[in-house]
Amino acid sequence: MSGWRSCSLTSVHHSSRLLAKVAGAGLDPHLALEGSGISLEAIHDLTTRIKITDEYAIYRNVLALLPDSGISVDIGLNARVSVYGMLGYLLLTAATLSDALKAAADVPALIANGFSMSLETSNDLARLCFSDYSGAADLRFEYAEVALGSFKRTCSDILGQDLPLTRVGFEGACTQTCIERCAGQFGCPVVSGQTQSFLEFPASFLDVVLPLADPISHLEVLELCRRQNSEFAAEREWLQQVRDIISKTLAEPVPLEDIADRLHCSSRTLRRRLGELKTNYRQLLDDVRFEKAKLMLKEGRLQTDEIAEKLGFCDGAGFRRAFQRWSGQPPGAYKT
């Protein structure tokens, strides 16, 4: 994983789209939920918020079920601006496309794709750039596909016309087959090996007056979005502190009361705040152990019993049982 910011909560919208792809392929959607701790009923309740780590688990399952299908770009291109809720209304009411994109970049926690977003212009071209990815490292490319696809769709929605792209770029390398597939989906040349992912389009579109522009509504919603962004950011920072403490003490896990002392609050307050975020100490401990275990298993330098010791288990058998519960497979199978 890239960092430990994956403790935050997110909506089920992305996961529900992933499950729809599985069902559309004639497969059992329950297969996509294995190891996630999320039920099909929860996915169908669009008011549910789930841990981003559970979304990652679902994503990995779907990619294994539907390899090389291009579902990430497709999901993005079919995500209308309305899926962003209040943020979508903020974008619709902006004066111009440039104003809308700058407003979106100002509230990154509401976009929830793991990237920082910025707008660049050079000569007659504009670039909407996505960088500093903070999510699961093995899903970086897929989330970039979703981000690029969804903002292509969003820009077209708020413009009231198709936004023609001159080029799409992806950070890092990807295969020629993937480049050709993405080029067909985006309808423009695609390049890889870039320092950041981007959508490139004629800069003249930045000054187009949006058909639903409303300055009064825009300012009202901007304030609401900024407040919500601050709340989400604070929530993630606080959870990050809890996970950091757990991560640094895995060999000898500290009790919840000690974590509360380090955060200068009571254990009762800590339990209540975790409950409000739909998690608890045991879940966070399991999450951190699971992510660390996957990294160590993939590196292949340690034996199972050594990993168990580093993660604070009494013996290798306890770790193997826990890993089977987390992932649906034994550690040995995960290595391969």
Which pLDDT value is given to residue 335? 55
The fraction of the chain above a pLDDT of 70, given in percent, is 96
Which pLDDT value is given to residue 9? 62
The fraction of the chain above a pLDDT of 90, given in percent, is 55
pLDDT in tens, 162-191: 999 999 999 988 889 999 999 999 999 999
Which pLDDT value is given to residue 237? 77
Of 281, 284, 264, the closest CA to residue 272 belongs to 281
* Cα angle 278, 283, 289; round to 5: 145
What phi and psi values does residue 200 have, to the nearest 5 degrees?
-115, 135
Domain boundaries, the chain: 1-69, 71-228, 249-335
Architecture of domain 249-335: Orthogonal Bundle (1.10)
- b/e per residue 181-219 (b: at least 16 CB within 10 A): bbeebbebebebebebbbbbbebebbebebeebeeeebe
Which pLDDT value is given to residue 1? 29
pLDDT in tens, 84-138: 889 999 999 999 999 999 999 989 888 877 888 999 999 899 999 999 887 777 8
pLDDT in tens, 23-39: 999 999 999 998 887 88
Contact 171, 194 (CB under 8 A): yes
Is 321's pLDDT higher than 80? yes
Of 148, 161, 165, 175, the closest CA to residue 72 belongs to 148
pLDDT in tens, 216-271: 999 999 999 999 888 877 777 788 889 889 999 998 999 999 999 998 889 999 98
Describe the crossing of helices 215-248 and 97-105 by its angle, rounded to 10 degrees: 30
pLDDT in tens, 260-279: 999 888 999 998 888 877 77
Residue 42 pLDDT level (bands cut at 50, 70, 90): confident
The pair of structure tokens assigned to 246 is 């757990």
C-alpha 235/C-alpha 239 separation (Å) is 6
Q: What is the mean pLDDT of residues 53-65?
A: 90
What is the pLDDT of the chain when averaged over all its residues?
Answer: 88
Is 285's pLDDT higher than 80? yes
Cα radius of gyration rounded to whole Å, the chain: 21
